[in-house]
Amino acid sequence: MSGKSASRIMTVVLPRWPVQRQLLQQPGFREFPVFVCRKNARGVLSVVSWAWVMPPETRRGFQPVIQSGFSLSEALAVLTSVYGEWASRVARILHEDSIGDIRVLETLGRWCHRFSPVVAIGPDVIRGKVKKQSTRSVNSLQIDVSDTARFFGGELSLVRMVVWVLAARGIHARAAIADTPAASWVAALCVDRLAAKNQQASSDFCKKISRSARGSTCLEKEKPRSSRHGHWLSRQQRWVLVPSGQQRQILGSMPIMSLRLPVDVVDSLAEVGVESISQLLRLPRVSLQERFGPVVSLQISRFLGEASDPLTPLQESDLSGATHSFEMPVLSRDLDYKYFRQLIESLVHQCIRPLVVTNRGASSLQVRLGTNGVRGSTILEVGLYKPTAKTSHLVDLVMLRFERTHLPREITGVSVEVLSADALPCRQQTLFRSPVQSDMSQFEILLNRLTSRLGSGAVVEPQLLSDIQPEASWVAAPVVHVMGTSGSCRSGHAHESKKTQVSKSVVGPSRPIFLLSRPQLLEVSSLGVHGVPVRFSWKGRVHVVMRTRGPERIETAWWRGPTVRRDYYICETNLGGRFWIFRGLQKRAWFLHGTYG
C-alpha cells in the first residue's frame, strides 16, 4: 500500500490543570478542597479552577457545581451547602500562576516526545460565559501521531497508553485522536458528552462502526478500574477515537463553543438557535463570513480539514539524560553504596558535559530507579538554588536524597535526566583570596544540601503580603524549586504570586514573635462582655494581666471566604510574658494566637 497517509492528531486535555499542577507539587492538599483563584480589578477573588480529590466518603454522591468564574465566596457557599461548614474552613485558596502552569505543561510536552517528535501546546481554552469575565488559559497538548501510532500497536493502544501512563504519574488526562487538530480538540473536550451519546445509541450502531479501516474503534470506552482520584476524575470515558473522515458525523452534535469561536459569536448564534456543530455546518459559509467575519469560516474549514492548521512544535529540549541498565535486577539490600555513587557520578557527568559546552548548568535533576514491581520507578528529584555544573556537588545532593529514600526491593536500572538548565553565573574571582571574605557560593551549596535532605518546602525565605489577616500576611517562598516552577510560593496557609507581594502588611512590635498555627481556646476573665482581659489560664498556669493594649480589630472582607472578625489584645502578665490574644466576635470566645517569645 502506497500513498501519503492522512494526518492524525491526538489531543490530550488535562482537566482543571491549574489545580492538578498545584496538587502535583503539593500532594498533601489532596485531602482538602483546593481553589485556584484570580483577583480581579476590584479585588474580588474569582475561581479559576477547583477540585477536591478526596472528599468525605459519606457525601460522595453529591457533587457541588462550581464553575469557573464564580466568586470565591459564592463557591464556598456552594461547597458549604453540600459538605457543611467545615469544608469551607479546611479549603485551601491558591492564587493562579499561569506562567508556572505553562512551564510545567511544556515539561510534560517534552516528556511526550517519546510518543511523537511533533508535540505542541494546545490552543487556548476560553473560560466564562460573559465576554468581560472570560479568561484564557492553556490546558492541553497536541501530538501528531500520523506515523507513530503503529509502533505502539495502533491508535487505540497509543491513546490508552498515554492516558494511563499520565495517570500513573498522578496526572488525569483525556485524549482523542482525529484527523485535524480542531476535531481532536473537540473530541477530547467533549469526551463526557460522547460517552453519554454512545450509551444512548444502540449496541448495533457501535458494532457497525467499531471496526474501521485503520483498525481503530469509534468511541472506544473503558470503565476505570478504580476511582482513587476522586469524584471529579471518576468519569467513565477517558479517550475517544474518531475514524478518519467521520468528524462531521460523530462530532456534529457537540456544542459550537468547542470550536473555540469567540464568545460573542457563540452568543449571537445561540440567539438564532444554532447551538451544535452540525447546525453550524448547515449554514452557508458566505453568509457566515458576511455576518461574523472570517473567523467562523476558518474554524469550520480547520475542523473539516479543508484549511491547514499546522501545529507549532515545542522546541526540542537539549537537556540530556543518561541511563544504565543492570544485566540482572539488583537487590537493593545488596547494593554497594560506593559502587552506586560511582555509577551516579558517571551518569551525571554524561548529562552535564553537553551543558558545560554552552556555559550552562543543571538547575534541577531527576534520578529514576527502575523496577519490575507494580509500584513503578522510584524517582529522586533534586533542585538547586542556582545552576551548577559541578558533578561532585550534584552527586552529593543525589546521595543525600538517596539516603532518605525507601528503595524498591529490586532495581533494574538507573537513569539520570536534567529537568532544567540555566546559564551559569559569572563571577569575577579576586587575585588574592582573603581568608575573611565571605563566599556566597558556599551558601548556595549549603542551601542545595539542606533542600536535598529536608525537601524543597523546608528551606524558605519569608516575604510579606498585603493581607490584614495575621496568618496570611506573609508567605514562605521556597528558595529551591524543582522542574522550573520558580514562579510559585507557598506557605502553611497563604499562597501568593511574587508579583502581588507588597510590603504594606502590619509589621513590628504589634505582632508576636511566635504565631500558633491554630488559635488555642483560652479561659479568660475579662471586665464585662466587651472588656479587656484580666487574667487567663494557659498550660496549667494562671496569668494575671498587668498591662494590655487593644483592641485591634481585624476583620476580613466577605469576598475572601470565611469571615474573620477578631479583637486582638497584647497582654503583659505578672510573670513577664507577653501574649497576643483575641476575642472572636462571632462566637464570643477568647483565643491565644501568639506569644512575644
- For another protein, the binding residues in 536-595 under the rule CB under 8 A are 538-539, 541, 544-549, 570, 572, 574-579, 594-595
**Distance in Å, CB of 443 to another protein, minimum:** 4
Interface with another protein, residue 283, by CB under 8 A: no
**Distance in Å, CB of 394 to another protein, minimum:** 17
**Distance in Å, CB of 98 to another protein, minimum:** 21
Site for another protein in 464-503 (CB under 8 A): 464, 470, 473-474, 476, 479, 492, 503
Beta-sheet pairing, 119-121 with 140-144: antiparallel
C-alpha cell at 283: 449554514
How buried is 426 (Cβ within 10 angstroms: 0-12 exposed, 13-18 middle, 19+ buried)? exposed
Residue of 24, 161, 165, 534 that binds another protein (CB under 8 A):
534
Interface with another protein, residue 423, by CB under 8 A: yes
Q: What are phi and psi of 593, to 5 degrees?
A: -115, -20
Please tell me the count of residues contacting another protein according to CB under 8 A.
75
**Distance in Å, CB of 513 to another protein, minimum:** 5
The SS3 assignment for 392 reads helix
- Residue 124 forms beta bridges with which residues? 138
**Distance in Å, CB of 482 to another protein, minimum:** 16
**Distance in Å, CB of 178 to another protein, minimum:** 42
Which helix (H) or strand (E) segment is 143 a member of?
strand 140-144
**Distance in Å, CB of 462 to another protein, minimum:** 4
Nearer to another protein, 201 or 507 (CB): 507
Interface with another protein, residue 427, by CB under 8 A: yes
Residue 531, C-beta contacts closer than 8 angstroms, at least 6 positions apart: none
What span, in angstroms and rounded, lies between the C-alpha atoms of 142 and 149?
14
- Residue 381 forms beta bridges with which residues? 366
Nearer to another protein, 273 or 508 (CB): 508
Q: Contact, 123 vs 311, CB < 8 A?
A: no
Q: Contact, 10 vs 238, CB < 8 A?
A: no
Residue of 502, 521, 527, 557 that binds another protein (CB under 8 A):
527
Q: Contact, 573 vs 579, CB < 8 A?
A: yes
Stretch that binds another protein, among 56-64, 210-218, 342-350, 511-519 (CB under 8 A): 511-519
CA distances for 379 relative to 173, 367, 371, 382, 415, angstroms: 21, 6, 11, 10, 10
C-alpha cell at 500: 502581588
What span, in angstroms and rounded, lies between the C-alpha atoms of 265 and 269?
6
- Nearest partner of 449 among 490, 406, 408, 479, judged by Cα: 479
Q: Please give the single-letter amino acid code of residue 362.
A: A
Stretch that binds another protein, among 1-9, 75-83, 366-374, 532-540 (CB under 8 A): 532-540
Residue of 426, 431, 432, 588 that binds another protein (CB under 8 A):
426
**Distance in Å, CB of 583 to another protein, minimum:** 16
Residue positions counted in the chain: 597
Residue 507, C-beta contacts closer than 8 angstroms, at least 6 positions apart: 464
C-alpha cell at 433: 583570596
| 3-state secondary structure string across 45-67 | EEEEEEECCCCCHHHCCCCCCCC
N- to C-terminal Cα distance for the chain?
81
- Residue 422 forms beta bridges with which residues? 361
**Distance in Å, CB of 429 to another protein, minimum:** 10
Residue of 44, 343, 424, 468 that binds another protein (CB under 8 A):
424
Interface with another protein, residue 331, by CB under 8 A: no
Interface with another protein, residue 442, by CB under 8 A: yes
- Nearest partner of 541 among 490, 471, 592, judged by Cα: 592
Interface with another protein, residue 78, by CB under 8 A: no
Q: How far is CA 68 from the centre of its chain?
A: 16
Beta-sheet pairing, 119-121 with 135-138: unpaired
**Distance in Å, CB of 381 to another protein, minimum:** 18
Q: Please give the single-letter amino acid code of residue 20.
A: Q
Residue of 43, 273, 284, 508 that binds another protein (CB under 8 A):
508
Residue of 86, 326, 337, 514 that binds another protein (CB under 8 A):
514
Which helix (H) or strand (E) segment is 516 a member of?
strand 514-526
Interface with another protein, residue 28, by CB under 8 A: no
**Distance in Å, CB of 537 to another protein, minimum:** 12
Q: Contact, 109 vs 115, CB < 8 A?
A: no
Stretch that binds another protein, among 53-61, 140-148, 369-377, 420-428 (CB under 8 A): 420-428
Residue of 27, 293, 425, 562 that binds another protein (CB under 8 A):
425
Stretch that binds another protein, among 14-22, 203-211, 271-279, 513-521 (CB under 8 A): 513-521
Residue of 168, 458, 521, 557 that binds another protein (CB under 8 A):
458
Nearer to another protein, 182 or 545 (CB): 545
- Nearest partner of 183 among 10, 330, 349, 47, judged by Cα: 10
Residue 301, C-beta contacts closer than 8 angstroms, at least 6 positions apart: 307
Nearer to another protein, 196 or 575 (CB): 575
What span, in angstroms and rounded, lies between the C-alpha atoms of 467 and 237?
43
**Distance in Å, CB of 533 to another protein, minimum:** 9
Residue of 301, 449, 554, 556 that binds another protein (CB under 8 A):
449
**Distance in Å, CB of 240 to another protein, minimum:** 44
**Distance in Å, CB of 557 to another protein, minimum:** 20
Stretch that binds another protein, among 70-78, 238-246, 314-322, 534-542 (CB under 8 A): 534-542
Residues 214-253: x where in contact with another protein by CB under 8 A, - otherwise, as a string:
----------------------------------------
What span, in angstroms and rounded, lies between the C-alpha atoms of 497 and 94?
9
Site for another protein in 377-416 (CB under 8 A): 386-387
Interface with another protein, residue 443, by CB under 8 A: yes
Residue of 457, 487, 565, 584 that binds another protein (CB under 8 A):
457
Owner of C-alpha cell 480547520? 302
Interface with another protein, residue 27, by CB under 8 A: no
Residue of 164, 453, 554, 559 that binds another protein (CB under 8 A):
453
